[in-house]
Homo-oligomer: A and B are copies of this chain.
Amino acid sequence: MEEKEISQAVIGRLPRYYRYLGDLKDQGIERISSQDLSTLMKVTASQIRQDFNNFGGFGQQGYGYNVEYLYEEISKILGLYQKHNLVLIGAGNLGQALANYVNFEKRGFLIRGIFDSNPALVGKEVRGIPIRAMEGLEAFVKENDIDIAVLTIPKTSAEEVAERLAGCGIKAIWNFAHVDLNVPEHIQVENVHLSDSLMKLSYNLNRYNKEKEQKE
C-alpha cells in the first residue's frame, strides 16, 4: 500500500465505511456496487470512489466492491486487530460505560488498568478490572506497555493528568474531558466533547423551528 498522507476528513469517514461493510458482511452479502453502497450510506458514489482511491481503489469495473476484502483492508488501514493496551482514568459513570463496552476489546483495544482519584472507588472492580489509586499511574503505564489513555475525568484535573501521562511515555489520549489538552505534538489526541455535539443539535433544532415559523 502506498504511504501517502491521507486527510483527516477521509480518515474520519473510514470508520463509517467499516461499520456498513461489517453489517453487509454479517448479512452474507459478498459484493456491492458503488451505486448501491452510495444509496445505503447516503453519500455520493463519487465521494466513495474518491475516498477509496486514497488507498489504491479496491473496486473493479463492472463488479463493484468485494465486501469482505474491503472490510479487511479498511480494518488494516485503521490499525484494528493490532493490540493496544489502554488505561482508563476516571471510573465514574462514563468511565464504567466505556469499560463495559466489550466491542472495543474485539477490535484490539484492551483496558489493562482503571484509575480514579476517589479513595472510595479504589479497590472496587469494573468487569473484573480493579480500580487503582492515581499514585501508581506512571509505574503501571511503563510496566504494562500502555499506549492509549482514556480520560473520563473532569476538566479541572485533565490538564494535570495529561502532563503526567506525557511524562511517562503515553502515545495517545482519548479525551472525554471538556477541555483541549496541551500535550506534545507526538501524542495523538482524539477529543469527544459531548456538550459540543449537543449544542450542534440545539442549533439545528432551533434553526428548523425558526424556518418553520417563518413559513407559517
B208 adjacent to A171 (CB under 8 Å): yes
A172 adjacent to B92 (CB under 8 Å): no
A208 adjacent to B195 (CB under 8 Å): no
Asked if A190 is an interface residue, CB under 8 A from chain B, the answer is: yes
Within A81-112, the residues touching B (CB, 8 Å) are 82, 84, 92-94, 96-98, 100-101, 103-104, 107-109
A190 adjacent to B197 (CB under 8 Å): yes
Total interface residues in chain A, CB < 8 Å: 62
A197 adjacent to B205 (CB under 8 Å): no
Q: Which residue of B has the minimal Cβ distance to A174?
A: B201
Question: What is the total number of copies of this protein in its complex?
Answer: 2
Contact of A200 among B15, B178, B214 (CB under 8 A): B15
For chain A, what secondary structure do more than half of its interface residues adopt (helix, strand, loop), or is it mixed? helix
Q: Which residue of B has the minimal Cβ distance to A194?
A: B192
A100 adjacent to B104 (CB under 8 Å): no
Among A57-65, A72-80, A159-167, the one that faces the other chain is: A72-80
Most buried by B among A190, A203, A204, A214: A203
Asked if A138 is an interface residue, CB under 8 A from chain B, the answer is: no
Contact of A205 among B79, B202, B203 (CB under 8 A): B79
CB-CB under 8 A from A194, the residues of chain B are 98, 101, 192
Contacts A190-B204, A192-B192 given; does A93 touch B84 at CB 8 Å: no
Asked if A196 is an interface residue, CB under 8 A from chain B, the answer is: yes
Contacts A77-B203, A148-B205, A172-B205 given; does A198 touch B109 at CB 8 Å: yes
